[in-house]
Structure 1
Amino acid sequence: MLANKFTFGPAILVTAAFIGPGTVITASLAGANFGYALIWALLFSVVATIVLQEMAARLGVVTQKGLGENLRESIKQPVLKWLAIGLVFCAIVIGNGAYQGGNISGASLGLAGLFPDLGNSLGWNFWPLIIATVAFVLMWRGSYHVLEKSLLMLVAVMSLAFLVTFVITAPNLIELLGGMFYPRIPSGATLTVIALIGTTVVPYNLFLHAASAKQRWQSAENLSEARKDLYVSIPIGGLISIAIVSTAAAAFFGKQIELNSAADLAPALTPIFGGWAQSAMAIGLFAAGISSAITAPLAAAYALSGILGIRPDLTSLQFKIIWIVILIAGLLVATLNYRPVLIITFAQITNGLLLPIISLFLLWMMNQSSLGQHKNSPRQNALGGLIVLITIMLGSRSLLSAFGVI
């Protein structure tokens, strides 16, 4: 009986990574600006995440190597190998740097919302440094189990915060279901759709999942456990995202608002929560930010160590140097005098545009004969190909719109 008892595994790290400040801000903007119309994009994103992350976990468990290691070893032609390494390197560094800046900014906004007087009395914004220090200490210990338990706790905290707001604001369920199952893109919503996808289907989470799955399970016989973990953890994140969109739609749609911080989410919720309005949103934002601030540098370290031939080990000095660089880069981005919402939104759009590149690499890897019976089936290839096609179409539409072509 105990052997069949479900326990959370590496997939909860993926949930902790994609439910970050980007989700809170992007989903809030989606609900405030377009009501329930874009919830279908989140439903698509959750399905896409499950499909792609299952491939990444299966690759890690079966080969006992991360996605980066598999890419480096499978491409034999030198020019193609270095081109692939260069693409992945740029995708990870650009996407992760922006994303980490958004994580630290978002967590800082949460703390600033909880302790406004403390920050004002000191005269400078020290919260990003506090967030970065906490993330540094947890990662430097090099214990996978400590990280997993810490992130599970943070996911539980933000789940409670955002799901409670969803229930109390009592969104219109008919309109919610309509937005979920009737796909449409209102005028001016293309970038928001890409941002919603980018905040859920995070490219470097594929590297994180493959590497952490091989640490948790050492045999293909454990694939059923890996899938159970995935099928429970990812939908939890999807429910949180949908709850945030729905809460913002119920509270803000049709009103002229400008989101710059967690404090801006509070006024419309004040009649519901009273004096706890700001605290409720700030706690969720802090938990989302600190969890993603831990997982994003780890994901980058797993990805880059794999493709560069560095030992992907939490205790390895070279591995630590990689995530330290990403952490510092995020800290610098977070301390720039830009509106935090702009940093966070830019990170999500960047992720959405980079997703097809990493997904194509993953699909190619999952069709290698070395995987034997565990390589992709025609159905899995069809689903993966459809996801890549949709993300390419959305990204192309966004770029064409940016240049005034459409």
Structure 2
Amino acid sequence: MEKVRQATDSTVEMPPATGRWKLIGPGIVAAATGVGAGDLVATLIAGSRFGYALLWAAVIGCIVKIALAEGSARYHLATGSTMLDGWRSLGRWTSWYFGTYIILWGFVYGATAMSATALPLAALFPILPLWAWAMISGLACALFVALNRYEMFENVMKFFIGLMFVIVAGVALLVGPNLGEAVQGLIPSIPEGSAIYTLGLIGGVGGTITMASYGYWVNAKGWRNPAWMGIMRLDNRVAYVVTGIFVIAMLIIGAELLYTAQIALSSGDRGLLDLDAVLEQRFGPFVSKLFLVGFFATSVSSILGVWHGVSLLFADFVRNHIKGETGISREGLETTPAFRFYLFWLTIPPMILLYFGRPFLLVIIYGALGAFFMPFLAITLIWLLNSSRVPAQWRSGWLSNGLLAIAALLFIVLCINEVIGLLG
């Protein structure tokens, strides 16, 4: 079995002794990319149906995501290689699964993400139809990612993340959280009919293929050896604490605005437009428009994160699984033809779906492959991080293994439920 090399390059920049908080960035990018409009709707619906009862699930979900993202980045830093190197060492079957998945996923997700970003733009500026705003969003994000390196990308992501956090947290404070019920909601309970919502809340928010991109963003930041492990862990924990506050804020909005008034939302991203109408009725047009800005910031940060992070994954997939280049430098993935091809693949072909909708068979295949990805990530991380591929001091301990095992079990259950739903 092939073993990946360790990072031993003495020229790699070492972490500073002070000012570590100023370095935080890749984790926030990864966490925010995983929180899209669909996740916001899912959280709102959980709050609208069960009030604060599932607040504990949002907290557990953040802990699970910390373990998954930390495992991905730890593999990068401890071995000096990438997740694609690790997956390839497990056998060629990973090439068939990941290659098929990333191509189908990109085609369908591209249309979904562009449409989600277009919704608030069309509501704020109804001078263009939805499809036109979707195309403009996709093209603008692709152009930005193609013309800028990681530092500029991270700064722009931080701006949108800060914008969406301030707006959503501000709306949550405005609606007035019930602190007593919120504290009670931290005690685990599963109300009748809430089992799948509970699992979805733990596993769905902030958890996508971009969790595997975290290690690449860590490397792009200049963190490339085990000396950066402490800063990576700080970065990751801060990111998911911020995400947790964001998710809790959405749950509060759902509980206070929708649960008490028994207001139902539309399914999918359009549910946020329903919330916008509720906010306008209760607080006036200014708060309503401000929320649409937050909606846009959430959606466009997901586009930018996926356009950059998953394109890095695809470029490394081509380098690793197609060209067979393992154990060598993966510097400059952003400048490769494979990176630019995947940017094109995420942006241009999906525009067909903006006109014709998503073909039924494609949706079935996409949904099934997508359901298997998070179990695939969790199980392979357990496999890799307990093997001789990783130096002994950086292998998983009981806490990491326990959290990754919980994540694997959770995502397997969600996977089975998703597949049953697709077959139904």
**1:15 and 2:31 matched:** yes
**1:371 and 2:378 matched:** no
Q: Distance in 2 between matches of 1:348 and 1:177?
A: 36
Instruction: State the match for 2:12 in structure 1.
Output: none
Q: Distance in 1 between matches of 2:172 and 2:26?
A: 27
Instruction: State the match for 1:209 in structure 2.
Output: 214
Instruction: State the match for 1:4 in structure 2.
Output: 19
Instruction: State the match for 2:338 in structure 1.
Output: 318
The alpha carbon displacement at 1:215 in A equals 2.6
Report the 3-state secondary structure (helix = DSSP H, G, I; strand = E; otherwise coil) of the residue aligned with 2:284. helix
Between 1 and 2, higher relative CO (CA 8 Å, sep ≥ 6) is seen in 1
Matching residue's letter, 1:186: E
Matching residue's letter, 1:287: A
The structure where helix makes up a greater share of residues is: 1
* Count of matched residue pairs: 388
Instruction: State the match for 1:78 in structure 2.
Output: none
The alpha carbon displacement at 1:67 in A equals 0.7
Report the 3-state secondary structure (helix = DSSP H, G, I; strand = E; otherwise coil) of the residue aligned with 1:182. coil
The alpha carbon displacement at 1:200 in A equals 1.8
Indicate conservation of the 8 Å contact 1:21/1:102, yes or no. no
Q: Distance in 2 between matches of 1:360 and 1:20?
A: 24
Task: Specify whether residues 382 and 296 from structure 1 end up closer, same or farther in structure 2 by C-alpha distance, changes over 3 A only.
Answer: same
Task: Specify whether residues 133 and 170 from structure 1 end up closer, same or farther in structure 2 by C-alpha distance, changes over 3 A only.
Answer: same
Task: Specify whether residues 185 and 347 from structure 1 end up closer, same or farther in structure 2 by C-alpha distance, changes over 3 A only.
Answer: farther
Matching residue's letter, 2:232: A
Task: Specify whether residues 334 and 154 from structure 1 end up closer, same or farther in structure 2 by C-alpha distance, changes over 3 A only.
Answer: farther
The equivalent position to 1:308 in structure 2, one of 303, 315, 318, is 318
The equivalent position to 2:46 in structure 1, one of 18, 30, 47, is 30
Q: Distance in 2 between matches of 1:377 and 1:18?
A: 26
TM (norm. structure 1) is 0.86
Where do 4+ consecutive residues of structure 1 move more than 6 Å? 346-350, 401-404
**1:84 and 2:76 matched:** no
The equivalent position to 1:383 in structure 2, one of 384, 403, 415, is 403
The alpha carbon displacement at 1:113 in A equals 2.0
Indicate conservation of the 8 Å contact 1:198/1:348, yes or no. no
The equivalent position to 2:249 in structure 1, one of 234, 243, 252, is 243
Task: Specify whether residues 352 and 34 from structure 1 end up closer, same or farther in structure 2 by C-alpha distance, changes over 3 A only.
Answer: farther
Q: Distance in 2 between matches of 1:128 and 1:347?
A: 21
Deviations 1:241-295 (A, max 9, x none): 1111210221011524333254311232235431123312211110011111011
Report the 3-state secondary structure (helix = DSSP H, G, I; strand = E; otherwise coil) of the residue aligned with 1:396. helix
Instruction: State the match for 2:262 in structure 1.
Output: 255
Report the 3-state secondary structure (helix = DSSP H, G, I; strand = E; otherwise coil) of the residue aligned with 1:228. helix
The alpha carbon displacement at 1:13 in A equals 1.3
The alpha carbon displacement at 1:96 in A equals 4.3
Q: Percent identity?
A: 20
Indicate conservation of the 8 Å contact 2:78/2:225, yes or no. yes
Deviations 1:25-74 (A, max 9, x none): 222222223322333332222111101101111111222322112222x2
Instruction: State the match for 2:3 in structure 1.
Output: none
Instruction: State the match for 1:356 in structure 2.
Output: 375
**Mean Cα displacement is larger for which, 164-173 or 191-200?**
191-200
Q: Distance in 1 between matches of 2:352 and 2:288?
A: 27
Equivalent residues in 2 for 1:259-338 (5 A)? 259=266, 260=270, 262-309=272-319, 313-337=333-357
Q: Distance in 2 between matches of 1:105 and 1:180?
A: 35
Instruction: State the match for 1:103 in structure 2.
Output: 113
Equivalent residues in 2 for 1:78-227 (5 A)? 81-116=91-126, 118-119=127-128, 125-184=131-190, 186-187=192-193, 190=196, 193-194=199-200, 197-202=203-208, 204-216=209-221, 217-227=223-233
Matching residue's letter, 2:86: N
| Residue ranges of structure 2 left out of the alignment (5+ in a row) | 1-15, 321-329
The alpha carbon displacement at 1:134 in A equals 1.6
Task: Specify whether residues 334 and 286 from structure 1 end up closer, same or farther in structure 2 by C-alpha distance, changes over 3 A only.
Answer: farther
